[in-house]
Structure 1
Amino acid sequence: MAEIQENNSGKGKEGKGKQKKMTIRVDFTPMVDMNMLLITFFMLCTSLSKPQTMEISMPTKDTQEDMQTKVAASRAITLLLGEDDKVYYYLGEPNYQDYTSLKETTYTPDGLRAVLLARNANVVARINELKKKKLDGEITEEEFKTQSTEIKKDENAPVVSIKGTDESTYKNLIDALDEMQICNISRYAIVPIAEGDLWLIKNLKSAGDLGKNSEMAQN
C-alpha cells in the first residue's frame, strides 16, 4: 500500500507560495502474502517430475554359461561396446579366422536398431499387428500385454549378449538397453567381455594383420 505524507514547514503567510513536500512510502508487506499464495497454488496444481528408472536384471554366472552354451548360433547376437560411441557385433559364435565377421555400427536408427529389427522381424511384425488391434479397440491393454509377452517368447527370436569394454561409457550401455526395448528383444543379458572379444576388435582395426600369426586365429 502507498502512503503519502505531507510536509508543510511554513506558517501563515510565509507558507503561502511554497510548494508542499510530499513523502511517498510503499508498503510491500501484502506482496509477501501474495507471493506465498502463488507459490502454494503452483505447488498444488503442478505435477512434479518423477524420476525414471530402468530395471536391469543381471544374470548369474550359471545363467551366463547356460545362455552361451544352449542358445543356437542362428539366434545369438553379441554386442561389444567400444570407445568413442562405437559398437561392434557378431552373429553366432566368434570367427577368429575371418576378421570381417565382426561388424562395426553405430547407435543411430539405421545402425544397431536396423540390425536388431532385421533379426527380430517376425516378432516385430506380430507386435505391430497387436498394437493396431489395441488402437482399434479390439483388445484391451491387459490383453495386449499378455499376448505381446507370449509373442516375445518366440523360439526363433534373437538372444543378445551385451559386453562393454573399459573404454565404453555408461551412456553406451543405456543406449544399447534402449534398443532392446525398441526392437522388442526380450532375451538379453549384460555379461563380462572375454579376452577373445577384445582380440576380435583389435584384429578388425588392424584389418586382419593381427590374426595372421596369432594362435587364437589358428585355433
Structure 2
Amino acid sequence: MKNLPQKIRSKKLSTRIDLTAMVSVSFLLIIFFMVVGELSKPKVMEYATGQDRGCCDCPPRHSGENRSITVMLGENNKLIYYMGILNSPIISPKEVKYGKEGIRKELLARKKTVLEYSAKLGKPSQGITVIIKPTKKSNYGNLVDILDEMKITGITSYAIIPEFTPEETKLLASN
C-alpha cells in the first residue's frame, strides 16, 4: 500500500477568558453611578416667609434684603444700583460710574458692611449677593465690565437677570 499522507491535527488549546477589562469597566460604572446619585440629591435653600417681621411702620429687614444689591445697566453707559428692595431700599438708587472710583468702591464698601453684619448674626460665611440687570439697550461691554468688577472685588455670588419690575423700568426711564 501506498503511504497515505497522515492528517496533521492541530493541537487544541484550552480556552481561557481574561476578565480583567470587564472588572475594570464594572468598577468604573459603579463609581459613576455613585457620583451621579450623590450629585442629583436636591439642595435646600432657606426661604424667608416674612412672618418674622415686627409690627412697626418700617418693616424690619431680612438678612437676604441686607445682603442683596441690584445693579441695573442702562443705555449710554448708565449704571444704577440700590440695596434691598426697591419699594423700601436700604440704600436708595444711585447712579454711579464704572471703574475704580465708581461701582468698585461701592461694592467693596457694601461687601465689608455685609460681612460685618453677617458676623454679628453668627453667619460669617454669608457675603453679598449682586443681582445684575442689563437692559436691552445696554451694550455687551457694560456687562463684561460689571462682571470684571465682580471678579476684582471677589464677589462670587451674583446673578444676571434680564427681567425688570415696573418700578425699575420707571427708575431707569427717569434717570
What range is the shorter-chain TM-score in? 0.5 to 0.7
Give the TM-score normalised by the residue count of structure 2. 0.54
Give the corresponding residue for 1:118: 109
1:168 equivalenced with 2:142 (yes/no): no
Identity %: 40
- CA separation in 1, counterparts of 2:135 and 2:77? 11
Choose between structure 1 and 2: higher helix proportion.
1
Which structure 1 residue ranges, 4+ long, deviate > 3 Å from structure 2?
Answer: 66-71
1:87 equivalenced with 2:79 (yes/no): yes
Are the structure 2 counterparts of residues 123 and 92 from structure 1 closer, same or farther at C-alpha, using a change threshold of 3 Å?
A: closer
The 8 Å contact of residues 79 and 87 in structure 1, kept in 2 or not, is answered as yes
Matches within 5 A, 1:31-46: none
Unaligned runs of 5+ in 1: 1-65, 125-152, 206-219
Matches within 5 A, 1:41-52: none
- CA separation in 2, counterparts of 1:73 and 1:117? 17
- CA separation in 1, counterparts of 2:108 and 2:173? 27
Shift of 1:202: 2.2
Aligned residues: 110
Give the corresponding residue for 1:36: none
Higher-Rg member (1/2): 1
Unaligned runs of 5+ in 2: 1-45, 50-61, 116-123
The 8 Å contact of residues 78 and 90 in structure 1, kept in 2 or not, is answered as yes
- Kindly provide the CA deviation profile for residues 180-217 of structure 1, in whole angstroms up to 9, marking residues without a partner as x: 010010100001231321112224x2xxxxxxxxxxxx
Are the structure 2 counterparts of residues 198 and 163 from structure 1 closer, same or farther at C-alpha, using a change threshold of 3 Å?
A: same
Q: Find the residue that maps to 1:182 and give its secondary structure.
A: helix
Are the structure 2 counterparts of residues 68 and 192 from structure 1 closer, same or farther at C-alpha, using a change threshold of 3 Å?
A: farther
Q: Find the residue that maps to 2:64 and give its secondary structure.
A: coil
